[in-house]
Amino acid sequence: MAINLSNLFNSINKNSKMGDFQDLEHVDGLSISVTSANLYSKQRDDLVLFYFRKGANHASVYTQSKLISENIKWNLKVNKKKIKAILINTRNANAFTGKDGFRGLKILADSLSQELTQKQKIDEEKPVRIQSDEILFGCTGTIGEIFPTEKIKKSIPDLIKKIRYTQNKYIWIKASMGIMTTDLKPKLAMEECYIGNKMVKIYGIAKGSGMIFPNMATTLGYIFTDATISSSILKQLLKQNIQKTFNAISCDGDTSTNDMVSIFATGEVENSNLKSIKDKKLTEFSSSLFNVLLNLAKRVAADGEGASKFITVNVKNCKTEEDARKISFSIANSSLVKTAIAGEDPNWGRIIMAIGKANVNIKPNKISIKFGNITIIENGKLSNSYKENEAANYMKEEKIDISINLNLGKKEFTSYTMDLTKKYIEINSDYRT
């Protein structure tokens, strides 16, 4: 599938669903390379390398699918304190490929480690040997197809040749487009914050458009920081901030075999020694990490396959957060709700349906429902102020906010999704052709 460049420039447009397109610059300790392994029938970048010449502390969360891809199996076996590289390919998921798929990753890791070791000898004053088990993999694309080991292996020398030790917005865009499948827009986000008196950067890219209903992660998300943070603290920070970001999105209710979100810390900024996630010096960093993750997650939902609307579903004043989560996703995953919104029909009866099937104890006479600022249901009854034409006009917007108030407690949860259009069917009916 060719990348639609017009959509890239469209994403800069302030009128688009996610208009605040961010320009990422340089992160010390990180190098990027992008090339084509000719995995697609049409020429496009499909192979991305992130290289940490001095190593990086790291943490990841992965899909909870019972049928995980071979690259996730590989990553779960890696137990090195520092990672030297992560190689990401698109077009092929390397899922349900068995021993051959895993063996392919071993071949690639061996080849890449040799090439990077040679580069160390050329570029570094104190070169180190890069080990195969210091390399992670990300794979995305079609499930069940033979993994193209040889094609990717042949492209590794070109990847090494194209390594850039300094980044700019163009290489970041190139990298984010290089991991896309059915996505129409690259997804990038950034924050700058302080740990103590030292300013650090948090940069991130993601891909995802379909097969998105995360459970511990999303399709692919990669976060990079120049801060000095241990792998154990990174893991805690990621788990803490993933639940209301990537685990709060759903495009189609389907969980991928390849979902992963990873964070890498190069340690180039020598900030204060952090011994615990409870360290007050981490407060601003954690908040900024949350913002980057949420920004990327929203971009994934807004770019869902065939999407014309970006939908926010906020469920508040529940007894428990789990209750709020169940109702929010019951609405977000409802095909009837999503098609009504696609058709710009303010059919609030479908919201009632979705609330009812969420298996949550509710009191009907306490429920309130809003579309944007338009009150539809108030204390379990149709609001006296409700006007169908106003709601119909609101449904023409690109951003749709649905608010549910159960008036039973203080807990809430917000999910993010998209509408279900004819284009979604077109994309997925000819996905492989």
CA distances from 33 to 49, 81, 172, 229 (A): 5, 23, 10, 25
Dihedral (Cα; 302, 61, 193, 49), 10-degree rounding: -80
Annotated catalytic residue 218: yes
Dihedral (Cα; 328, 319, 405, 287), 10-degree rounding: -60
Work out the burial of residue 418: count CB atoms within 10 Å of its CB; fewer than 13 is exposed, 13-18 middle, 19 or more buried. Answer: buried
CA distances from 317 to 314, 320, 360, 409, 413 (A): 10, 9, 13, 5, 9
Give residue 29's region: left, alpha or beta (phi > 0; psi -120 to 50): left
Alpha-carbon gap, residue 367 to 406, rounded angstroms: 5
Which residue among 149, 218, 257, 417 is the active-site one?
218
List, by residue number, the catalytic residues: 218
